[in-house]
Chains A and B, each alone.
Chain A
Amino acid sequence: MAAPLRVVVAKPGLDGHDRGAKIVARALRDAGHEVIYTGLRRTPEQIVRIVMDEDAQLLGLSSLSGAHAHLFPIICQLLVEAEMGDVVVFGGGIIPTNDRPALYEAGVRAVFGPGTTSTEIVEFIETVTEKTNSGESIGCGAKTDWHWGQ
């Protein structure tokens, strides 16, 4: 049996709503992955450190405060600087459609808004695994146009 995927689910910035993050964490656990939940109000530096120490392959970011446009790209950039550009980053929360292209550009590979089913997120992770196994790099530092829901 292959080792389970390790996924960090993080809440960057100052928003205090983590029901969504907890539900995603739960859904990924039920899909057989090892999920590390960071808790509220982490700085980008802390999140990058956690991904490094936990040797996670995926990072899910949740933001409902409107700070996604600022924080998500910073986290992707810090990951690349720490030589962790192979980590696949996805996001969720209240993220307007207009804001999404910039996030994809920054290296975020999926954005899940309200109403997303947990099945869809699990499907995304499966697709990521398939792509990674076939040698395609889709980490936050990879030069690719691919993102979920294209």
Chain B
Amino acid sequence: MKAAFDGSRRGLARALSHIENNQMGSIEPPSNYIPPDKNEWQVLGVTGAPGVGKSCLVDKIIQHWIEQGHKVAILAVDPTSPVTGGALLGDRLRMSNSDGEESVYFRSIATRKHGGSVPGVVAKMLELLIFCGWTKCIVETVGAGQGEIRVAAIADRILLVEAPGRGDGVQAEKAGLIELADLIVVNKSDLDGAQRTADEIRQALQVGATSPPQILLASAATGEGIEEMCVSIDQMVEREGSSRAKLLERVKAVHEQALLDSPQLENILEIVASGTSAEMALQALDKQSQQNTQKE
């Protein structure tokens, strides 16, 4: 841990592994730590369906931030195979431009299935990275399933990546991600149908309530619209609706973590297995813990 604060990459990598393996308690900032300006935000969540081009866009954002003098850390979250427990982490593949830069730290994370929840682990990793002086962090996740949405919700700002040819706007809405997004980029604007995809998302959002996020067209392949995207990211304002949605997801993540860490978890599962409903089991435990505190 000390090595990580002293700027050692190896030390940082080791410390992150400890967090990932649930071997690290709470993290205190180093004594010489200067907290970042309150008006600046650090963590960008990038999410979207597989294959829409998240990694390629992230590569561009990294370049943009390096040019501004930032130190950029990327946490790329990929699913662990539920069958074998293994994972193939290939997000580096498309980020060749950023490899080997002193001011870029790239880490692949498998979701794993044991113990702690992913959002809890990622949040802790981000905390450590920021303490170690990484001024911008990017969390990249596949936007499918509640778990991934919750990981994205840790971020200060969320970029949702879409691409043409993925069904209508209703599909995107279904995923439950749009309400979290602060900016939507339709990637692959060099392909047919990109404009239509953007229009459909825009229409779907107009029906909804609060201020919709900005929607941009860009192409990581041709570079079209990338500069505009980077400018918009820097100026990105958190939407009122999205900040509430994020907070809700964060609270849920803490709650989930508490449940998974609870020494009572096995008891609860046993009670449920014996035929009691989960609700009753939890109530019984609540009573038990109340009695315990009274005794004390």
Binding site for B on A (CB under 8 A): 1, 3-4, 6, 25-26, 28-39, 41-43, 45-46, 49-50, 52-55, 82-84
Q: Contact between A39 and B86 (Cβ–Cβ < 8 Å)?
A: no
Contact with B99, one of A6, A30, A42, A84 (Cβ below 8 angstroms): A42
Measured CB to CB, the closest approach of chain A to B90, in angstroms, equals 5
Measured CB to CB, the closest approach of chain A to B81, in angstroms, equals 7
Q: Contact between A46 and B99 (Cβ–Cβ < 8 Å)?
A: yes
Residues on the A chain within 8 Å of B20, using CB: 3
- Majority-rule SS of B interface residues: mixed
Q: Contact between A37 and B85 (Cβ–Cβ < 8 Å)?
A: no
Q: Contact between A53 and B86 (Cβ–Cβ < 8 Å)?
A: no
**Bound Cα distance A34, B84 (Å):** 10
Residues on the A chain within 8 Å of B13, using CB: 52-55
Residues on the A chain within 8 Å of B81, using CB: 29-30
Q: Contact between A34 and B110 (Cβ–Cβ < 8 Å)?
A: yes
Q: Contact between B21 and A3 (Cβ–Cβ < 8 Å)?
A: yes
Residues on the A chain within 8 Å of B94, using CB: 39
Q: Contact between A55 and B17 (Cβ–Cβ < 8 Å)?
A: yes
List B residues 200-222 near A (Cβ within 8 Å). Answer: none
Q: Contact between A35 and B86 (Cβ–Cβ < 8 Å)?
A: yes
**Bound Cα distance A55, B89 (Å):** 13
Residues on the B chain within 8 Å of A26, using CB: 88
Q: Which residue of B lies closest to A33 (CB)?
A: B86
- Decide yes or no whether B34 CB sits under 8 A from chain A: no
Residues on the A chain within 8 Å of B114, using CB: 1
- Decide yes or no whether B92 CB sits under 8 A from chain A: yes
List B residues 83-102 near A (Cβ within 8 Å). Answer: 84-90, 92-94, 96, 99-100
**Bound Cα distance A36, B20 (Å):** 16
**Bound Cα distance A49, B107 (Å):** 11
Q: Contact between A49 and B99 (Cβ–Cβ < 8 Å)?
A: yes
Measured CB to CB, the closest approach of chain A to B83, in angstroms, equals 8
Q: Contact between A55 and B86 (Cβ–Cβ < 8 Å)?
A: no
Q: Contact between B90 and A29 (Cβ–Cβ < 8 Å)?
A: no
Binding site for A on B (CB under 8 A): 9-10, 13-14, 16-17, 20-21, 80-81, 84-90, 92-94, 96, 99-100, 105-108, 110, 112, 114
8 contacts between A and B (CB under 8 A): A4-B87, A28-B86, A31-B86, A35-B87, A52-B9, A53-B9, A53-B13, A54-B106
**Bound Cα distance A77, B62 (Å):** 30
Measured CB to CB, the closest approach of chain A to B181, in angstroms, equals 28
Q: Interface centre among A28, A43, A55, by most B CB within 10 Å?
A: A55
Q: Which residue of A lies closest to B10 (CB)?
A: A52
**Bound Cα distance A33, B110 (Å):** 10
Q: Contact between B84 and A30 (Cβ–Cβ < 8 Å)?
A: yes
Residues on the B chain within 8 Å of A43, using CB: 100
Beyond the given A29-B86, A37-B90, A54-B106, could you list 6 further A-B residue pairs with CB under 8 A, ordered by the A residue number? A26-B88, A29-B81, A37-B92, A39-B93, A43-B100, A52-B13
Residues on the A chain within 8 Å of B108, using CB: 34, 36, 54
Measured CB to CB, the closest approach of chain A to B77, in angstroms, equals 12
Contact with A53, one of B88, B93, B96, B107 (Cβ below 8 angstroms): B107
Q: Which residue of A lies closest to B105 (CB)?
A: A53
Q: Contact between B93 and A37 (Cβ–Cβ < 8 Å)?
A: yes
Instruction: List the 9 closest A-B pairs by CB distance, nearest first.
Output: A29-B86, A39-B93, A55-B13, A32-B85, A46-B100, A3-B21, A29-B88, A32-B86, A55-B17
Residues on the B chain within 8 Å of A82, using CB: 10
**Bound Cα distance A46, B95 (Å):** 12
Q: Contact between B92 and A39 (Cβ–Cβ < 8 Å)?
A: yes
Residues on the B chain within 8 Å of A52, using CB: 9-10, 13
**Bound Cα distance A1, B22 (Å):** 12
Q: Contact between B10 and A83 (Cβ–Cβ < 8 Å)?
A: yes
Q: Which residue of A lies closest to B20 (CB)?
A: A3
Residues on the A chain within 8 Å of B89, using CB: 34-37
Residues on the B chain within 8 Å of A1, using CB: 114
**Bound Cα distance A1, B87 (Å):** 16
Q: Which residue of A lies closest to B110 (CB)?
A: A34
Measured CB to CB, the closest approach of chain B to A39, in angstroms, equals 4
